[in-house]
Amino acid sequence: MVVENAGTTARNLDATREWLERNLNSTAVIETERFSFFYGKEQALRDVSLSIPLDGVTAIMGPSGCGKSTLLRAFNRMNELYPNTRSEGTVRFLGQDLLKADPVAVRRHIGMVFQRPNPFPKSIFDNVAYGPRVHGNRNRAELRDIVEESLRRAALWDEVKDNLKKSAFSLSGGQQQRLCIARSLAVRPSVLLMDEPCSALDPKATDRIEATTRELAKELTVVIVTHNLQQAGRLSDHVAVLLAEGVLAEFGPTKTVFEHPCNEQVADYLCGRFG
């Protein structure tokens, strides 16, 4: 499949950039075109069109219930795990229609970290090795290397390297969230989706997750949902603002949107007058 070939080529930002320049007229990694999503009769997203750029961190913001998490989950087909849902429009990854691709292959190349840490009831090592094993890797030496590399990239290796056989539940909340990041990185995705990854963490753990996210953005594309305006301002390079009824009100460089919003409702939201 195209997704598989693109994902193999897109192991790092330089390779992804080269692939995009060779195959597409756009530098967008993920694009939506007039994308709408429904939970039964309830419409959560309405005609959303945007392009997620290759470089840096893109934040999705907006008041509660505006469809932020729904949009994020659309990028790797997680919404389809909910009953009685349907979508309209197009979502593309590296030029391919994601809605027609194998969802397992999609999630191999577009990983996701959820709002609350959700480690498996396994050891730290087995949590990170889980994905590679599912995809057929049984080589012990290779798995050890993958686990170490992933934990290092998630800024967790130095804290757990002597306790890899311990239960993941022995870790603190912030460590568990970084473990979940490492688990996603173990299958070497091109994109990492993060759904309010700091909402259940204390300020110190939040600082670690934000620092880790900035480092990861040097290697892959990161898309994060956050309800925290300050976090979006200091962490993201681009920002998408959704408003009521799942309408995309504004999208652009974070500094531009924050300092010179074009939409009056976005200006009110950023000033805290609603949301």
Q: What is the pLDDT of residue 7?
A: 44
Total residues belonging to the chain: 275
DSSP state, residue 196: S
pTM of the model: 0.89
φ, ψ at 156 (rounded to 5°): -125, -15
At 42, which amino acid appears? E
Distance CA 57, CA 239 (A): 9
Please report the beta strands in 15-149, taking only residues with DSSP state E, as ranges in sequence order: 28-39, 42-53, 57-61, 85-93, 96-97, 110-113
Structure tokens, 102:
């194998």
Q: What is the pLDDT of residue 1?
A: 41
Please give the C-alpha separations between residue 21 and each of 18, 54, 94, 95, 236, in angstroms, as whole numbers: 5, 11, 11, 12, 24
**Domains detected in the chain:** 2-115+190-270 (3.40.50.300)
Q: What is the pLDDT of residue 28?
A: 85
Determine how many CB atoms are found less than 10 A away from the CB of residue 163. Answer: 13
Please say whether the dihedral angle defined by the alpha carbons of residues 231, 235, 241 and 242, taken in this order, is positive or negative.
Answer: negative
Determine how many CB atoms are found less than 10 A away from the CB of residue 227. Answer: 14
Distance CA 106, CA 73 (A): 12
191-195 vs 42-53, strand pairing mode: unpaired
Q: Return per-residue pLDDT of the chain as tens, 275 residues.
A: 444 444 443 455 666 556 555 655 567 899 999 999 999 999 999 999 999 998 799 999 999 899 999 999 999 999 988 999 999 999 999 888 998 888 888 888 999 999 999 999 999 999 999 999 998 999 999 999 999 999 999 999 999 999 999 999 999 999 999 999 999 999 999 999 999 999 989 999 999 999 999 999 999 999 999 989 999 999 999 999 999 889 999 999 999 999 999 999 999 999 876 55
Q: What is the pLDDT of residue 104?
A: 86
At 12, which amino acid appears? N
Q: What is the pLDDT of residue 128?
A: 98
